[in-house]
Structure 1
Amino acid sequence: MQPLDKYLRHLTVERGLSKNTLAAYKNDLAKYFGYLSRLGASVEGVTAELVQDFVVTLSESGLKSTSCARILAAVRGFHRFLLLENLRTDDPTARLRPIKLPMRLPKALSQDQVLKLLAASGPEPTDESADPIGLRNRAILELMYSSGARVSEIVDLDLDEIVGQGLMRVRGKGAKERIVPIGSYALKSLDAYLIRTRPLLNKKTGLPALFLNQRGGRLSRQSIWEVIQKAGKACELAVSPHTLRHCFATHLIEGGADVRVVQELLGHSSVATTQIYTMVTIDTLREVYHAAHPRAQR
């Protein structure tokens, strides 16, 4: 019997939940398992970072905060059950507290940490002896940090969506399109990939996908997550599929960008979602103030 089936049986037999309540649990956990499936992650391999990222995904999905909190409660109950039944040796939700969802954002990496992550993902585009796959991986992460695009949006990119020098068209949630700029570093990595790697991978004539796998097909979400995870491990940084998107937004706001401009770049339907990143920045400012101001200490 699968872990989810065991948990649902536990809710039915030992806790005596009604059919309607059980159906609600099953529906909520289906969202969680769907998220894990899209990343190619197993229940056994779930980390605290993945759970946090799932919470962020919920908060950006347009669901009410009460619905998000209910889904998170179901996920926490499921993982506590796995721990009690010795189906896992730890609980990745243990440190998650039932607080307002906007505050559950993973902490953004510093700019120096992002540079380390990018360097760990693959070689510089100027490296003439660079591994072709390394060039592709570096281009992916450079583009994610430069544009703030979601992993799913990077996967869906086609060649003709690089529209002119330094711009790309992104197809976001709800079939909404937006134009976002591409920075010079990302452009250089992208050019190196297009010239030196993609022709080697393009085994299927006419495939429009921008990023290809080694079989010539469109790269998957799972593959990009593996690239991010591998780079994070190489430089000992805790990362999630949303890490570079968070860094993009946080670093823009730290640099003085208007929150409504950042909203447009991220493709958020509501500025309230984007304002989460101003909270992260304010927390950083508060920490610096208390550490540095001579009369901030009690």
Structure 2
Amino acid sequence: MSSNPAEKIEKPKLPKRIPRCLDKGQIESLLLHLDCYSWFNDLEAKRNKAIIRTFLYTGVRLNELLKLKTTSINFEASEIIIYEGKGSKDRIIPIHPDLMLYLKAYQDVKKIPTEYFFSSIRSDKPLTENNLYRIIKKIRSKTKFHFSPHQLRHTFGKLSIEGNLNPFKLQRIMGHSSIETTQIYVYVSDNNLKESFQKINFG
């Protein structure tokens, strides 16, 4: 009977599909074109800048962003509360200081109070999925590369791991039911190991 303790360790499962993430150059291009685009008015510009950055800085799912209510954002505590996310579970996401600037800027120019934080610029109706993809399509016409809300979510996960965020904390922020899902971003981050290794000077 084997007494090797290593045999009892369960090997990590490789992800079936490596998620596509934006690289740093694409992120810079995306934000540049987002900020320089000629939006209809100041309200639309500030709303759209806040929307894209919310995806990028929090990793929220598309339907979670659309359901965000004004009361879900606690500016004083720097937190976003996701009510009934995937699996009907609530969770709290910390607001990055850079994102906070854009959320406040949008909130300050809203002339009418709205139940949903991201709403139409002409009424108090919530933003729809079609509305959101029209915004993304306009930016994609300038960036010349494809991106989606889900890719921005993946990008958040990858950058969080590269920033040394604990995977278990990332699991809570992203609302994953299993840590195995979160570990996908460890594999994505590992893809940069070869490039980093080649820069090491052994001389």
Tell me if 1:169 matches 2:169. no
Which protein is richer in helix relative to its size? 1
Residue matched to 1:240: 148
Letter in 1 for 2:73: I
The 2-side partners of 1:226 and 1:105 are apart by: 27
User: Are the aligned partners of 1:161 and 1:168 in contact in 2 as well (CA < 8 Å)?
Assistant: yes
From the superposition, tell whether residues 150 and 251 of structure 1 become closer, same or farther in structure 2 (CA, over 3 Å): same
| RMSD of aligned alpha carbons | 2.4
Letter in 2 for 1:185: D
Tell me if 1:136 matches 2:47. yes
The 2-side partners of 1:192 and 1:268 are apart by: 30
The 2-side partners of 1:229 and 1:276 are apart by: 28
Q: CA deviation at 1:294?
A: 7.7
Residue matched to 2:105: 192
- TM-score under structure 1 length normalisation: 0.56
The 1-side partners of 2:131 and 2:14 are apart by: 28
Residue matched to 2:132: 224
Residue matched to 1:37: none
Residue matched to 2:95: 182
Q: Aligned ranges for residues 1-298 of structure 1 at < 5 Å?
A: 102-122=15-35, 131-165=42-76, 166-171=78-83, 172-196=85-109, 198-199=110-111, 202=112, 207-216=114-123, 217-289=125-197, 291-292=198-199
Larger Rg: 1
% identical equivalent positions: 32
User: Are the aligned partners of 2:82 and 2:91 in contact in 1 as well (CA < 8 Å)?
Assistant: yes
User: Are the aligned partners of 1:139 and 1:186 in contact in 2 as well (CA < 8 Å)?
Assistant: yes
Q: CA deviation at 1:135?
A: 1.1
User: Are the aligned partners of 1:121 and 1:227 in contact in 2 as well (CA < 8 Å)?
Assistant: no
Letter in 1 for 2:194: R
1:107-164 CA-partner distances (Å, limit 9, x unpaired): 311234223212322359xxxxx73211110011111111111111110000001124
The 2-side partners of 1:270 and 1:107 are apart by: 20
1:31-69 CA-partner distances (Å, limit 9, x unpaired): xxxxxxxxxxxxxxxxxxxxxxxxxxxxxxxxxxxxxxx
User: Are the aligned partners of 1:159 and 1:208 in contact in 2 as well (CA < 8 Å)?
Assistant: yes
Residue matched to 1:47: none
Letter in 2 for 1:270: S
Q: CA deviation at 1:243?
A: 1.7
Q: Which has the higher contact order (CA 8 A, sep 6+)?
A: 2
From the superposition, tell whether residues 222 and 106 of structure 1 become closer, same or farther in structure 2 (CA, over 3 Å): farther
Q: CA deviation at 1:287?
A: 4.1
Secondary structure in structure 2 of the residue aligned to 1:139: helix
From the superposition, tell whether residues 162 and 151 of structure 1 become closer, same or farther in structure 2 (CA, over 3 Å): same
The 2-side partners of 1:164 and 1:132 are apart by: 19
The 2-side partners of 1:240 and 1:157 are apart by: 19
From the superposition, tell whether residues 158 and 279 of structure 1 become closer, same or farther in structure 2 (CA, over 3 Å): same
The 1-side partners of 2:75 and 2:42 are apart by: 27
Residue matched to 2:6: none
From the superposition, tell whether residues 107 and 277 of structure 1 become closer, same or farther in structure 2 (CA, over 3 Å): same
TM superposition outliers: structure 1 runs of 4+ over 4 Å: none
Residue matched to 1:127: none
